[in-house]
Structure 1
Amino acid sequence: MDHKTEPNHLKLLKLVIHATKHDRHEEFKEANFENLIKAVTGLLVLLSSQFYTYDFSSGPTFLALENDPNDDTESGIGGYFRVKFPKLLSNECYDFEYTDIQNSSSFFVHYPYPT
């Protein structure tokens, strides 16, 4: 999604965050709880869509038994939030084996985006 096609509320949120970050004296009124929640949940969506639930933690691995809620959600990265991931068919997901591409000199495809 580029800046021309993104929804207006996202454009507004970016402007608010940018203004608040760079001019705290004049724009501090925009630094409110609602915008904080929007920013945190937006980041959670972005990270969850890219990394699923893997959090790259350097800490020890523990085995824990717990009762998960019955609401079709999973623990998000870090375990602070619950995320409801879409149910995708296997043909809608990308998949590869690293051993198939590890010796390839060019496994990224160049796409000439229009300007």
Structure 2
Amino acid sequence: MPLDKPYYLTYRPMIDGPNAGYSRWAYIRDPYYARSPGHYVRAYLLIQKDLERLFEYVEPSPEAELTFSFRIHELLMRTCIEVEANFKAILDANIYTPAINRFQQPIYNMSVYKKVNASHHLSSYEVMLPLWNGPRKILKPFEGWNTGKGIDWYQAYNASKHDRLQEFKQANMGALISAVSGLLVLISSQFQDQDFSAGDDLISLGGMDYHDMSASTGSLFRIAYPNDWPDGQKYDFDWAKLRGDPDRFQRFNYDRLP
């Protein structure tokens, strides 16, 4: 059976039905859906702005993927810290009991964050950078979870964070672009394309896009949302009716996952 209430911080497609067009985004704007969502979107937009500034000096291209510098390293660190912050926010908003280490601190790492793939299908997202100066390149920042190889850009972040002198070159432009696309996937998997700005809501018209895929937050990348959701895991509700329910959201139970 489809889900009759949305999970906190979890965007999913809707079953087509009465008022589905409104319902597919309106719950995301509910003040109880997320705690300070604009905080996370703003952080992403600042990172994207800094990436665009780098593109003024280094053309995004196959030739530039191995380019490395302190500025690229700095932005990779910020991006992956923000990735971790988003993962933790999702787990905290739902049901997750972290293991405790010997210092009595909760354990959060990529093995833990992988649980979010079950609820958000992160590994099924695709991202494209239209500015890419080379053969068409589709980024799948969490695809490594499907192949058992891990997340290469996150591994580059960890390596260059813990041993910058020896692993500095891993923090390169290719890793950075992949990391920013990963952060975009996380933002989109929670908030779709909502940016929580102070402006009026606008109605967009489809069918006139120049680029493939869908527009994304910040408009630098294009994004393809997962199409592998079974109907039983999609949302099916009329938000105009559900929004008055004090118990209108539910929590995903990550403790049940292995």
Q: TM-score, normalised by structure 2?
A: 0.33
**Structure 1 unaligned blocks of 5 or more:** none
Distance 1:9 1:111 in 2: 20
Equivalent residue, structure 2, for 1:99: 243
Give 1:57 shift.
2.3
Q: 1:62-97 CA deviation, whole Å, 9 max, x = no partner?
A: 8699952263x2210122211123457894522444
Larger Rg computed on CA atoms: 1
The answer on 1:79 being equivalent to 2:198 is no
65 and 57 in structure 1: CA distance in 2 versus 1, 3 angstrom threshold: closer
State the aligned residue count: 109
The answer on 1:52 being equivalent to 2:192 is yes
61 and 14 in structure 1: CA distance in 2 versus 1, 3 angstrom threshold: same
Give 1:22 shift.
3.5
Q: How does 1:1-115 map onto structure 2 within 5 Å? A: 1-2=114-115, 6=145, 7-10=148-151, 12-58=152-198, 60-61=199-200, 67-69=208-210, 71=212, 73-87=213-227, 91=231, 92-96=233-237, 97=239, 98-99=242-243, 101-102=245-246, 104=247, 107-108=250-251, 110=253, 112-113=255-256
Distance 1:36 1:13 in 2: 7
Give 1:13 shift.
3.1
**Structure 2 unaligned blocks of 5 or more:** 1-113, 116-143
8 and 53 in structure 1: CA distance in 2 versus 1, 3 angstrom threshold: same
Distance 1:90 1:81 in 2: 27
69 and 25 in structure 1: CA distance in 2 versus 1, 3 angstrom threshold: same
Q: Is the 8 A contact 1:101 1:107 kept in 2?
A: no
Q: Is the 8 A contact 2:154 2:179 kept in 1?
A: no
Q: Is the 8 A contact 1:76 1:82 kept in 2?
A: yes
Q: 1:31-62 CA deviation, whole Å, 9 max, x = no partner?
A: 1111111111111222222211112224x348
Identity %: 34
16 and 109 in structure 1: CA distance in 2 versus 1, 3 angstrom threshold: closer
